[in-house]
Chains A and B, each alone.
Chain A
Amino acid sequence: MGSHSDSRSVAERYQYFIRGRQLIVIEQKNKSGVGLNAGGSVPINDVISNDDAPPYQAPSETITKGLMLEYTSIPDMSSMTDESDDVPLTDVLALSVVDYIKGATTEDPAMREYYMDKFNKRVVRYVEGRTGGPRRAIGNAMMR
């Protein structure tokens, strides 16, 4: 675990972006900590005398199990190798797979479009069925 004198919150210090298949986590340099009596963590020379230095840097501390990535992923299909195996989906979505296969195997372009459209509509209907209805964003305790 890192001990850090930075008084900024995690959200203020760190940001991220994605480059190809890499996640880049950067830390904004603490410019407010630069000064005669500030006792900041960034050397004054980094900010003032070096014009080429960017206002960000790699994270300055190590946090064990401190980086969480939340992502959607393709389900594990390694166990599906035979006719007797289960398709790892609900029955509703399994029916959309039937439409997809019919669309992919037909040679008639019109029928392909028909089945793929049916596939898309079935998936969208399934998603909307789960997330429909009014929703309300909940902020932090200071929001009125």
Chain B
Amino acid sequence: MKVKEVMELAGVTKTGLALALIKDALTEIELLSKENVTQYTTDLTADQANYNLPANLVEVTAVKVLDETSSYFCPLTRVIIENYKEK
């Protein structure tokens, strides 16, 4: 569906306003539907525990590490650590 069709159905005439509201709606839809799943692979680096999360992230669904023996990515368990200590 085109932006113009959405504007006509919603009764909005200002393009800038319509685009801004469509973007808001897309974010809301993503929060509800979790439709747009993305996979991102990076190096696991020795002595580095912290990795920045992508800016467009809504929710982390899985974190996996490559098992070099089987060549499969194995899902990791999410933990809660109080008073996390780091060097």
| Binary A-proximity of B10-32 (CB < 8 A = 1, otherwise 0) | 11100101110111111111101
User: Which interface residue of A19, A70, A83 has the most chain B CB atoms within 10 A?
Assistant: A70
Known: A63-B66, A67-B43. A89 touches B29 (CB 8 A): yes
Q: Tell me the minimal C-beta distance from A89 to chain B in angstroms.
A: 7
Q: Which secondary structure dominates chain B's binding surface?
A: mixed
Q: Which secondary structure dominates chain A's binding surface?
A: mixed
CB <8 Å contact, B21 and A101: yes
Q: Which of B10, B24, B67 is within 8 Å of A98, CB to CB? A: B10
> Which residues of A does B touch, CB under 8 Å?
1-2, 9-11, 14-19, 21-26, 52, 54, 56, 58-77, 80-89, 91, 93-98, 100-102, 104-105, 119-120, 123-124, 126-127
Distance between Cα atoms of A16 and B63 in the complex (Å): 8
Q: 10 A-B pairs, CB-CB below 8 angstroms? A: A10-B76, A14-B76, A26-B81, A61-B46, A68-B66, A71-B53, A71-B61, A80-B22, A93-B29, A123-B28
Q: Tell me the minimal C-beta distance from B11 to chain A in angstroms.
A: 7
CB <8 Å contact, B85 and A94: no
Distance between Cα atoms of A35 and B63 in the complex (Å): 32
Known: A23-B63, A105-B10. A74 touches B79 (CB 8 A): no
CB <8 Å contact, A16 and B76: yes
A sample of 12 more A-B contacts (CB under 8 A), given A68-B63, A73-B36, is: A17-B81, A23-B63, A24-B51, A25-B51, A71-B40, A77-B22, A83-B7, A84-B4, A89-B1, A97-B29, A101-B6, A105-B12
CB <8 Å contact, A85 and B3: yes
B76 CB contacts on chain A under 8 angstroms = 10-11, 14-16, 25
Known: A73-B58, A80-B22, A89-B26. A25 touches B44 (CB 8 A): yes
